[in-house]
Chains A and B, each alone.
Chain A
Amino acid sequence: MDIAFVIEKFILVTIIFAISLLIAMYSTYAERKVAAFLQDRLGPDRAGPFGMFQPLADGLKMFMKEEIIPTNANKWLFMVGPGLAMLTACIGTAVIPWGSDVQIGDRIVPLQVTDINVGILYIFGVVSLGVYGVMIGGWASNNKYSLLSAIRAASQNISYEIAMGLSIIALLLVTNTMSLKEIVEQQHGWQWNIIYQPLGFLIFIICAFAETNRAPFDLPECETELIGGYHTEYSSMKLGFYLFAEYINMFVSAAVMATLYFGGYNYPGMDWVLLNAGPLFGPLIGTVVFFVKIFAFIFFFMWVRWTIPRFRYDQLMHLGWKVLIPLAIANVIITGVVIAIIEKF
């Protein structure tokens, strides 16, 4: 392990971390602007031009608020909860390939922190850990509404994980690899996996909404039933962390969906661009395309949130267990049969 390798990875990790925080920060702004647009309002427009500094003002406000830890709360776990939520939200970015290899001087730098051969499963593992932040925080608050919310989050997370896993299995039958890098490389040009797995993608995106606790599946923070949900007792930056983790989760799941189904950094006509833009800027254009796809998904998340009303809890469970799981199993079987037939003839 030479020192240049360590420095290179360190810089990459720092940049990715900074970008995910920045995007999460401006997602809060975008959310309010999108909501305003869909409801024919203006949205935040006071802080700076077009309200651009609103996230900064919000962040500062969060820091300045009083820290309150309820008397009967479990202090240590009460503090661990939001931290865990942030941690599990951030570590998912480690295996996502942000672009093809960049050549700087005569050094080839991969724009991916690590390419483990079980990349998809790693993402899946991180997603399944995501619920602990909510559960621990909700339980440690010693508030029955928070507890109810934590329990809802746990059951929702586990229920939708199954359908998500099954939709990934169908994708793996097509790609034959679990390395995210190889999956992206296979989708060169316009041969995106969405063409081969439309149903799988539909199941995956619905599950992604449920796993990130976004509307219409934001049952754990259903105000009408649970006051504020798992973060009822939280104040100051601890609350901020929970809210922020949601946006980072959204960013990461948008990146995963773009990687798995929408070709990652591939786009039609990329060979021509790569040939003409050189070994440094060619891949970077791909990265820009990748981010455009991510932003499109984030916009879709927001669009859905301000369009579709929240599900009832029994509807959520019904959709998860009785609709998505049978569909996902059927998808796996059909994919398998089709692949077997194609290989035979």
Chain B
Amino acid sequence: MGTSVFYFVATFSVIFSLMVIFSKNPVHSVLYLILTFFTFTVHYILLNAQFLAVVNFIVYMGAIMVLFLFVLMLLNLNKDNEPLKSNMVKIVGVIAGCCLVVTLVGSLKATAISDPVVLKNPNLGLLKNLGKELFGPFMLPFELSSILLLTAMVGAVLLTKKEKA
């Protein structure tokens, strides 16, 4: 049952992420991205990582995407004022896209395809276990990443301050 649910949800993930790219309206793109994140939440639940699932739900769907939507609504982009891109930019885009495809195919070939993911500790994603792992063996990387985030936050606040003349 787990596998069929996975394939069902995975299909939606792929469809929604394609819709993000193909929809013309940026607000629609963001809404499809929200749906994509929702399918990711379901994937996390299928992997028994409840904490990660709900954090993905809160942080990505509930906060970051609201900000994306906020900015897009403020900019109010539509077809009339969308800047026309030159051919040069289009060609560069195609080349970059092809490079990405080559990289992805290469890395997919490098991994063994028929190796199913076996979770060594299936309950690792539960709240208590995750907390013990994060604040035990992975204490240093955890704290370092929080300092990194704090730095980014302070930097962002600093950027918005006007320089004194």
Contacts and interface: CB of A to CB of B under 8 A. Distances in A.
B104 interface: no
Given A154-B69, A154-B70, A178-B127, A121 B62 contact: no
Most buried by A among B31, B62, B70, B73: B62
A165 to B, nearest CB: 8
B66 A157 contact: yes
Interface in A109-126: 116-118, 121-122, 124-125
B117 interface: no
Contact of A158 (B63, B73, B76, B126): B63
A135 B73 contact: yes
A222 to B, nearest CB: 18
A124 B73 contact: no
A128 interface: yes
B61 A125 contact: yes
Interface residues of A, number: 25
A132 interface: yes
Interface string B61-101: 11100110110011010000000000000000000000000
Interface in A127-157: 127-129, 131-132, 135-136, 139, 147, 150-151, 154-155, 157
B69 A128 contact: no
Interface of B: 27, 31, 34, 50-51, 54-55, 57-58, 61-63, 66-67, 69-70, 73-74, 76, 126-127
Contacts of A132: 34, 66, 69
Contact of A135 (B54, B66, B127): B66
A161 interface: yes
B58 A147 contact: no
Interface of A: 77, 116-118, 121-122, 124-125, 127-129, 131-132, 135-136, 139, 147, 150-151, 154-155, 157-158, 161, 178
B73 A147 contact: yes
Nearest to A76: B28
Contact of B66 (A116, A121, A124, A154): A154
A131 B160 CA distance: 26
A139 B57 CA distance: 23
A135 B30 CA distance: 12
Contacts of A151: 70, 73-74
Contacts of B54: 118, 121-122, 125
A-B pairs with the 3 shortest C-beta distances?
A: A128-B62, A125-B57, A121-B54
Contacts of B61: 125, 128-129
15 contacts: A118-B54, A118-B127, A121-B55, A122-B54, A125-B58, A125-B62, A127-B62, A128-B62, A135-B66, A136-B31, A139-B27, A150-B73, A151-B74, A155-B70, A158-B63
A43 B31 CA distance: 42
Contacts of A131: 66
A147 B78 CA distance: 15
